[in-house]
Structure formats: structure tokens, C-alpha cells
Amino acid sequence: MYMPPQRRSFLQTSLGLRMLELGVSDYSAYYQQILHGPSGAMEWTTLVDRLTVQETRFFRDPDALGLISEHMRSLTPALADSGKPMEVWSVGCASGEEPYTLAMLAENTVGSRGIGYSVTGTDISTIVLRKARAGRYPLRAMERIPVQYHSWAIQPLSSQQIEISSALRQRCCFSQVNILNLKACPLQSQHLIVCQNVLIYFRRWRRREILDALAQRLAPGGLLVIGLGEMVDWQHPLLEPVHSSLVTAYVRKQSTSTRESVRR
């Protein structure tokens, strides 16, 4: 995990608060505690949660979501012909707002036409994954969700809390995945991969490795969306960049056999 110098104060604050909770007096003692034994591994997991779980919200990036909706609509004819569901992957899903947002878009585009879909959210933090599976959020989160989704995508639980509808929750699954060990992740042939605000935690050579691995997991014609400016000079032979000043995205090229069948 890499943090640039400008995030030094964030790192100091996060470490300081955790050390205060544990009653540890200095950085060196805390470092030694993390290094040794099963309790050290557990403490490292807790610290990773503190350092990587950032604020997220529903419908966070309108420009990217516009492109994603357009992409989903473009997939409709091929999915209808094949009878296969649309596969969507949210990398670094945090507490679930992004996967549920993608599920709402999928239901509105392909689901409404009788085409199946599934959304997988992955994160390294087990704490936020539990929150994502529950699908319950403060009432104020509703303000971020467009009105047209209110009647079927969410339901009030109390005066202070809402819940994602059971129909959408059944379309979403959540799993712990370390993005540096994607070889252990079974997801393949994804029609959409969203990996925003994740690469910032790694050095540039690591970012390239991660993106190379994600490119291999796209289906032909699949879309990869990353954070704007997170990797400006990356290229991959399987992908074509989407030309936009508002979104950083790539489309996997169709295979030769697919192109030939389309021409025929």
C-alpha cells in the first residue's frame, strides 16, 4: 500500500487514533505489534480497513454512470440473442453503494427487457462487506438516489434508515478479494468492470499490473472504467480507450471470430 506525501496527515491521524484505542504509546511499538503472531495479522487487517475505507455514496460519478448506462443498453441485443446474463464487477466496493447503483442501472436497462444480470462487489475489508450485504443505509443516502428509483429500488425501514429492495439485493453478491492477488479471484468474462478510487493506493507499476489483470477478465466488447486521472498513460493490446475528457474507460476489442460472425 502506497500513500503519497500529501496524505501524511491522514496517515498520522489514522495511526494515532488506532494506537490510542489500543493504548500503544509510539509508532515503533505499534509496528512491532503488527509484525508478530496471529494477533498481528488481525491488527493489520483492522489497520487496512482504517486506511482504505473512504467515503462513498450512491450515484457518485454522473459522467461515468452515463457512459455505463449507454454501454449496458448497447449490450441488450447481443445478450437477448445469447440468453446469457450481463456480468458486472465493482472492484473496491466499500459498503456497497456502488454495486447497488450499478444494479439499479442494470435493472433499468437490461432487466426491464427480461435479460438477467448479476453484480459482484469485492473489497479487502470484511467490515464494509458486512455492511454491503445488509444493504441498509442512513435515510440521508436517499437524497443521492434519483427519484425514479425510489418506488422499487429502496424501501424505508424507519425514520432514520432505508434498505435496498430484496429483488436488487438478490442480484448482488459481495466477496473479499485482495486486488494484489487477482489470480485467486474466479471472476471472468465480465461485461463491465468498475475500478474507481482504488488504484490511488498503489505505485504506478502496481497499477499497471492490476489493470493488465482486469483487462484479461473483460468479455469481448466489455467496458473497464477507472478513476479519472488514476492512470493516464496506460495501454493494453486487448483494449481500446474511450475518447472522453470526463471519463477514463476502455473497451475490450471483439475477437476475430466474433467480428467475422458479425460481418457474415
Specify the pLDDT at position 54.
Answer: 62
**Which class is domain 62-135+166-263?**
alpha beta
On the question of pLDDT at 261 being above 70, the answer is: no
For residue 203, give every residue at least 6 positions away whose Cβ sits within 8 Å of its Cβ, in sequence order, or none. Answer: 2
Domain ranges of the chain: 5-52, 62-135+166-263
- DSSP run (H or E) holding 163: strand 161-164
60-70 tens-digit pLDDT: 999 999 999 99
**215 falls in which pLDDT band (50, 70, 90)?**
very high
- By the 10 Å C-beta count (0-12 exposed, 13-18 middle, 19+ buried), 239 is classed as buried
| CA–CA distance, 43 with 35 (Å, rounded to integer) | 9
What are the residues facing 119 on neighbouring strands?
Answer: 88, 172
CA distances from 120 to 19, 91, 181, 245, 261 (A): 34, 8, 17, 28, 30
Provide the whole-model pTM: 0.84
On the question of pLDDT at 252 being above 90, the answer is: yes
Specify the pLDDT at position 259.
Answer: 47
On the question of pLDDT at 200 being above 90, the answer is: no
| CA–CA distance, 239 with 24 (Å, rounded to integer) | 49
Specify the pLDDT at position 48.
Answer: 79
- By the 10 Å C-beta count (0-12 exposed, 13-18 middle, 19+ buried), 71 is classed as buried
Specify the pLDDT at position 238.
Answer: 97
Question: What is the average per-residue pLDDT within 85-101?
Answer: 96
What is the torsional sign of CA 39, 40, 46, 50?
Answer: positive
Question: What is the average per-residue pLDDT within 93-109?
Answer: 97
Specify the pLDDT at position 264.
Answer: 42
Question: What is the average per-residue pLDDT within 238-245?
Answer: 95
Specify the pLDDT at position 256.
Answer: 54
154-189 tens-digit pLDDT: 999 998 999 999 999 999 999 999 999 998 899 999
Q: Contact 200/230 with Cβ under 8 angstroms?
A: yes
Cell 499490473 sits at which residue?
Answer: 209
